[in-house]
């Protein structure tokens, strides 16, 4: 567990020393979401209907923005080799990196989403549900994304390949995440959506660090 | 203590080397020599377990290691192994001391600040320990990396072109560090194109 926290702390510190990467993703999220009400105009019913989808798709794309750099710096400067040679299990170190990615890239989206949701005229219950669904969903995006980032590490044009690889895998998260918010604003039950999201998250927490580690070992060879 | 038997490695279609065998006891060191592209780095990466060998086996204290194994023996080997490769493996945004701290944390070892400061002083980085590594020169970055030789206790040093980018003073210093390490019963495997200021040692020509 110490190894996990060590890499998480290191990555957060590194990101704070070089803020542009993190701020770019957050700014992208804010701008993309804000463009929709401006483009569509004052039609409260329509805005309310598209809000869950817009916010969730924007969160997906914002997560994708930083993914190619998740392992790249460590790969290029040899830190990843040192991690692979550490007595601590590599999967734990990698889990720490994924945790840091979520703290820097996922958590800000969870906190910002309710504020941005106000532009779409969502009621308080729906805003709460939006935060809750993102709280369950963004770690999932980080976990799946990390596996994709590891698979495309060191590949030329890896950024595009990463998007092609990861976006289809994000579809279930998107459907259940946006679905939960839509169900809430339509006054329907949300337990089904949330439990499926939680189940996906539990699966990913277990398998994604392991799969990411296996992919990184291949990249290191 | 460290034995390699009949190691072979190829890159794509090309056979880099085959049937490489050697054995190192406490206090011995091996100088891997060869032209550019002869496979020196490949041999070192294979030895530390970063890539699998096509054939052959590597043993540490009699137990089979290498090839990215996750056995307890392989973890023991990694605990006693320090590999410094071509790459700087230091973070530009962090200062020298933070780099050493996180290296220790990744290795799962406690960090001794007094020891780390002493190491940086010995490597001539005193007064620069709180500067971001980004502003240091290439040679100084290399020295930050070399400080790990002093802060992390390891029985096996595997150094790939460790003498690159170092001035003559630093070359002497690294020679002295290696001497101390070998005198204390350590092992070392090195690649270098220049003659090393070290007595003894065996040569492996690829």
Residue B151 with chain A: CB contacts under 8 Å: none
Chain A 67-86, residues with CB within 8 Å of chain B CB atoms: 76-79, 81-86
Chain B 120-139, residues with CB within 8 Å of chain A CB atoms: 132
Q: What is the pLDDT of residue B37?
A: 83
By the 8 A CB rule, do B145 and B172 touch? no
ipTM, two decimals: 0.88
Query: Is the pLDDT at B195 greater than 80, yes or no?
Result: no
Model confidence at B126, in pLDDT bands (50, 70, 90)? confident
For A96, the closest chain B residue by CA position comes to B106
By the 8 A CB rule, do B181 and B188 touch? yes
By the 8 A CB rule, do A129 and A176 touch? no
For B165-193, the pLDDT digits (tens) are 788 888 888 888 899 999 888 889 988 88
Q: How far is CA B96 from CA A70, B20, B92, in A?
A: 23, 38, 9
Q: How far is CA A219 from CA A75, A212, A216, B42, in A?
A: 9, 11, 5, 15
Q: How many residues does chain B have?
A: 206
Domain chopping of chain A, boundaries: 2-220
* Contact A7/B at CB under 8 A: yes
Residue A76 with chain B: CB contacts under 8 Å: 87
Reduce the DSSP state of residue B159 to 3 states and report it.
Answer: strand
Residue B88 with chain A: CB contacts under 8 Å: 77-78
For B50-86, the pLDDT digits (tens) are 888 888 888 888 888 876 677 888 888 888 889 988 8
Q: How many beta-carbon contacts under 8 Å exist across A and B?
A: 78
The beta-carbon neighbor of B78 closest among A10, A76, A86 is A86
Mean pLDDT of the residues in chain B: 86
Model confidence at B152, in pLDDT bands (50, 70, 90)? confident
Residue A7 CB neighbour total at 10 angstroms: 26
Work out the average pLDDT over B81-100: 87
Per-residue pLDDT of chain A (221 residues; tens, 9 = 90+): 788 898 999 999 999 998 888 999 999 999 999 999 999 888 889 999 999 999 999 999 999 998 988 999 899 988 999 998 888 889 999 999 999 999 999 999 999 999 999 999 899 999 999 999 999 999 999 999 999 999 999 888 888 899 999 999 999 999 999 999 999 988 888 899 999 999 999 999 999 999 999 999 988 88
CB contact under 8 A, A88 and B106: yes
* Contact B49/A at CB under 8 A: yes
By the 8 A CB rule, do B146 and B172 touch? no
């Amino acid at each position: 567990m110490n190894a996990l926290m060590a890499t998480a702390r290191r990555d957060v510190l590194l990101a704070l020393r070089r803020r542009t990467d993190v701020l770019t993703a957050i700014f992208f999220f804010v701008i993309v979401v804000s463009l929709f009400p401006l483009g569509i105009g004052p039609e409260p019913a329509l805005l309310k209907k598209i809000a869950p989808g817009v916010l969730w798709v924007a969160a997906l794309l914002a997560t994708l923005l930083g993914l190619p750099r998740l392992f790249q710096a460590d790969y290029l400067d040899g830190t990843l080799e040192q991690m692979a040679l550490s007595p601590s299990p590599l999967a734990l170190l990698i889990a720490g990196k994924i945790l840091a990615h979520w703290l820097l890239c996922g958590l800000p989206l969870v906190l910002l989403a309710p504020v941005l949701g106000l532009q779409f005229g969502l009621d308080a219950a729906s805003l709460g549900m939006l935060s809750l669904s993102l709280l369950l969903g963004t770690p999932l995006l980080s976990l799946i994304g990390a596996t994709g980032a590891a698979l495309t590490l060191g590949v030329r044009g890896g950024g595009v390949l990463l998007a092609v690889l990861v976006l289809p895998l994000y579809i279930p998260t998107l459907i259940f995440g946006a679905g939960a918010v839509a169900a809430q604003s339509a006054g329907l039950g949300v337990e089904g959506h949330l439990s499926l999201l939680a189940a996906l998250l539990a699966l990913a927490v277990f398998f994604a660090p392991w799969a990411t580690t296996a992919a990184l070992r291949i990249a290191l060879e | 203590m460290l034995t390699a038997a009949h190691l072979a490695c190829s890159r794509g279609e090309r056979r880099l080397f085959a049937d490489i065998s050697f054995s190192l006891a406490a206090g011995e060191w091996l100088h891997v020599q060869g032209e550019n592209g002869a496979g020196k780095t490949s041999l070192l990466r294979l030895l530390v377990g970063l890539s699998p060998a096509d054939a052959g086996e590597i043993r540490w204290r009699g137990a089979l290691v290498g090839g990215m194994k996750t056995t307890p023996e392989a973890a023991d080997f990694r605990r006693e192994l320090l590999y410094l490769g071509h790459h700087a493996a230091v973070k530009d945004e962090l200062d020298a001391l933070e780099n050493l701290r996180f290296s220790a944390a990744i290795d799962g070892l406690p960090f001794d600040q007094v020891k780390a400061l002493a190491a940086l002083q010995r490597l001539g980085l005193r007064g620069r320990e709180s500067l971001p590594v980004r502003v240091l020169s290439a040679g100084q970055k290399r020295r930050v990396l070399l400080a790990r030789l002093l802060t992390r206790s390891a029985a096996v040093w595997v150094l790939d072109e460790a003498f690159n980018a170092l001035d003559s003073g630093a070359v002497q210093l690294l020679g002295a560090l290696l001497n101390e390490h070998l005198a204390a019963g350590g092992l070392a495997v090195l690649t270098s194109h220049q003659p090393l200021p070290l007595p003894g040692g065996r040569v492996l020509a690829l």
